[in-house]
Amino acid sequence: MDRICPVGDDPLTGTPIDPLGIQRNEKQRINCKATSGSFTLTFAGYTTEPIYADDTTKIVKDKITALPSVTAATITFGGITLTACTTIGNDISIEFTQDFGDLPNIIGNAAGLVHSTSSVTPTLTITTVTQGTKESLPCSRRGMCDTSSVICPNDCSGHGTCYTMEQLAKLSTLNGEIMGWTYGAVPNKKETWDYDMIQGCKCSPGWEGHDCSLRSCPTGDDPMTLRQQNEVQILVCKGSSGFFTLKFRDAATPQLPFSTPVTLLASALEALTTIGKVLVTYSTDANGVTGSPACNAAGSNNIRIEFLTNFGGLPPLRWILDGALILTLSTDGVGSSVQGTKEEVVCSNRGICNHATGVCRCAYGFTSSDGFGGEGDRGDCGYKEPIYLTSAARQANQI
């Protein structure tokens, strides 16, 4: 892989004598109308720790410039305002002084803000004041980048493997399944000329980032989004002999006989590294009596599989057959199946991921869940504390 050289603004452009005009830094403005609570800002994939309504200019600057995606920035408040948010709204101006070009918009999350006037809704409004026009070029376009090295950044930090673009395409996943895409398979295609020239890291489980140097944090359901459902898939197996293997996100169970009872099928699924807890029921088990076979000659058994701790819209179960069996599957609301609508997001959208430790720092009032709506050791921030002041979450946030 070519070495990645530092980028910067061309110092000989954008001057007063440049016929193309003066170049400018990107400036964005945040207006916060609230009297208490907190908000977060996300920029180029990284999210700040909570910014509180009474934070000073220095504190806000420290939290914003702590983002890996921000090299340097100047932060100012409107007028003589001393706090980030005010009753009528305070302007927080951000000028990016070392990140050049047209930058992505800051994204705000105002869910934690509160206004003392019940008829007033707290708001967080973000606008681009000045679009950045300076260059962001290797060696500021005034030097030569040595691209002779063929290793990945930091050799993937010891937590991943370096592959070419062609190899990475074949290993790419979508919703946890390897897709086997191709890149560079068509000879002399101009769009994929770099298929064997550029390399990148494929990180080991639990690590992320372009060089696999960031620890991943637990994911979970957002406890503040209500009336959501678990994924339910309905499997029907027709036949009275043979074996079947079920696959989920490329992990496979052992061969299971057609006569497999519900308890053994559930255990086989939960043994997969890609599945947490499931609830499996057979329609042919009735009145508390279990032991029916998974498959029968009439195909009259509906195998209901509810994913209890894998959230969101999941990929379908897949299978390998050995013998005279026929399997059919209903998903995404077909028949009695249910498409999963819960989130599977980092820190349950209620905390900040510390990529140095892989531990979520939960927002005030939230702590780790058990994946079932209660408090537990999942490591996400998916449980809302009913009484915060004496909770484990408050103690954890004070560490």
Q: Which amino acid is at 200?
A: G
Mean pLDDT of the chain: 91
Report the pLDDT averaged over residues 201-216. Answer: 96
* Res 391: pLDDT: 59
Report the pLDDT averaged over residues 237-261. Answer: 96
Q: Which amino acid is at 212?
A: C
The tokens for 370 are 């058990």
* Res 393: pLDDT: 58
Q: Between 367 and 392, whose confidence is greater? A: 367
Give alpha helix (H) positions in 43-126. Answer: 57-65
**Which region, left, alpha or beta, applies to residue 291 given φ > 0 means left and ψ of -120 to 50 means alpha?**
left
Q: Are strands 137-138 and 7-8 parallel, antiparallel or unpaired?
A: antiparallel
Q: Report angle CA 22, 28, 29 to the nearest 5 degrees.
A: 130
127-131 contacts: CB < 8 A, separation 24 or more? 127/28, 127/29, 127/31, 128/26, 128/27, 128/28, 128/29, 129/27, 129/28, 129/29, 129/93, 130/24, 130/25, 130/26, 130/27, 131/24, 131/26, 131/102
Least confident span in 12-16, 325-329, 359-363: 12-16
Query: How many angstroms separate the CA atoms of 239 and 250, rounded?
Result: 25
Q: Which residues pair with 232 in a beta bridge?
A: 306, 338
Query: How many angstroms separate the CA atoms of 363 and 357, rounded?
Result: 17
Q: Are strands 295-296 and 232-238 parallel, antiparallel or unpaired?
A: parallel
Per-residue model confidence as pLDDT tens digits over 19-67? 888 899 999 999 999 999 999 999 999 999 999 999 999 999 999 999 9
Per-residue model confidence as pLDDT tens digits over 306-317? 999 999 999 999
Per-residue model confidence as pLDDT tens digits over 179-193? 989 998 875 566 777
57: number of Cβ within 10 Å: 15
DSSP string across 134-180: S--EEGGGSS-------S-GGGGGGSEEEEEHHHHHHH-EETTEE--
Query: How many angstroms separate the CA atoms of 23 and 28, rounded?
Result: 16
